[in-house]
Chain A
Amino acid sequence: MDDMRGVAAGQDTATTKISARGVQVHYGTNHALKDVDVDILDRAVTAFIGPSGCGKSTFLRCLNRMNDTVSSAKVSGKILLEGEDIYDPRVDPVQLRAKVGMVFQKPNPFPKSIYDNIVYGPRIHGLAKSKADLDIIVEKSLRGAGLWEEAKDRLQQPGTGLSGGQQQRLCIARAIAVSPEVILMDEPCSALDPIATAKVEELISELRQEYTIIIVTHSMQQAARVSQRTAMFHLGDIVEVGETEKMFTNPSEKRTQDYITGRFG
């Protein structure tokens, strides 16, 4: 089946960025994630797909310890970011989240100016010494998020005044402002119109040159378009993980086949 694997050729630097082994999550008595083993490759887009309640968002939230904020959540197993256990007690979750940034389903800019939205993270992490440094970060981040041209003349205006698609790209700019290594995206386009979606997808393709990206999506077409690897979740387990091209033309598992072709879920 080598003929189906064109994309793999572009992935010569296929090193593992995140390695998860035996990850389980309980929310109280609910066993949300049963036993997840997966390797996330560096500088590639990995899509998490699966029906609602399958555990994909839960697992995504394990990767930057967002589940720490949910009191009933209990996470076990090992998650290594470049070989380092992110659940080691010595790891500061705030520092971890600077390394592993997140973009949410609904654009959620701070009720501040566009400029302040971006410099918020770099300020608290002490990444800039002067106003000039911050200016550079703002421009770089907005350019990185494909928003510079649209926003450069209104940096002091509120971020909430932007359109939905622009707000989402502002959130991406805010995420990359702290120079993360991994960006987690939880259905980043589900509240956007097709053009704004296309812009974010275009951005994702560009960002993968520098970042490891994991995207949770309910759009099969989006997963097929933007990702190089896809992991299919069902009932708290990973059913199948592999190259996206193969997954969408010839999946190995029947449950994957049934889900992506719209037969259940």
Chain B
Amino acid sequence: MPTQHTTTVFDEDMKFLAHKIAEMGGHAERMLEHAVRALVESDIHLARRVVSDDVILDDAQNIIDDKSVLVIAQRQPVASDLREVFAAIRISTDLERIGDLAKNIAKRVELISERAQGVRLVRGIEHLGDLALAQVKEVLDAYGARSTARLNMVRDRDDELDAMYTSIFRELLTYMMEDPRNITTCTHLLFCAKNIERIGDHATNIAEAVFYMVEGSKMPQFRPKDDESHKVGLDSQG
């Protein structure tokens, strides 16, 4: 926000939105980071904290929604202001979803940690989580800096994330076939992996929202590849 509005309250409203998004973003990052760490380290205490922290994101999203509606009603924002408000609404929705997905991972930690072999299986997911976290960080930095320079990389890395998810999917299937006693743990881990993959998708949504906010046009030819796990069947598990 380069120059100031004649109405200072308008400036304050816009700053409030930007600040709240940054705050939400930091919180969502932390939830993801903690959820994956709780899973890797079988830290049930940390997992419970992630679960209980989710309400903070829900509240923040409500606050952003209310403020955005108010700004639209009171100021009828146009041009860059309009795009800022629109982006705030979209990004807060994605961040809230990221929180939900992290919370869902955390909820599974207790059950997974009860089974000894679980630990051995979470290494791939840890890496997947690191990648997703980097994505979320990248798009939030882009939002903070109002810069689109690195958003293309986010798209490229989302392909990488999808590919990694597909390979984890295969791996977990293999374990399940090896020993049916793994099925419970592996199914939970599969959900964890899928949640992280979805978080990556939300990061790309945010990338698109940031791009539109900054440039005023759609991100060119944004076609992220889906994960390929829907094609993975028993036949291919040779």
Contact = CB atoms under 8 A, between A and B. Distances in A.
Interface of A: 1, 3-4, 220-221, 224, 247-251, 256-258, 260-265
A263 B11 CA distance: 10
9 contacts: A3-B217, A248-B79, A248-B82, A249-B78, A249-B216, A262-B5, A262-B10, A263-B4, A264-B3
A264 to B, nearest CB: 7
Interface of B: 3-7, 10, 75-83, 215-218
A264 B6 contact: yes
B35 to A, nearest CB: 36
B75, B78, B83: most-surrounded residue (chain A CB, <10 A):
B78
Contacts of B4: 263
Main secondary structure of the interface of B (DSSP, over half): loop
Contact of A257 (B80, B215, B217): B80
A224 B79 CA distance: 11
A249 B77 contact: no
A262 B6 contact: yes
A262 B7 contact: yes
A249 B83 contact: yes
Nearest to A256: B79
A3 B4 CA distance: 29
A220, A249, A256: most-surrounded residue (chain B CB, <10 A):
A249
Q: Which 6 A-B pairs have the closest CB atoms?
A: A250-B216, A1-B217, A248-B78, A261-B81, A263-B3, A260-B78
B147 to A, nearest CB: 17
B10 to A, nearest CB: 7
Contact of B5 (A1, A220, A256, A261): A261
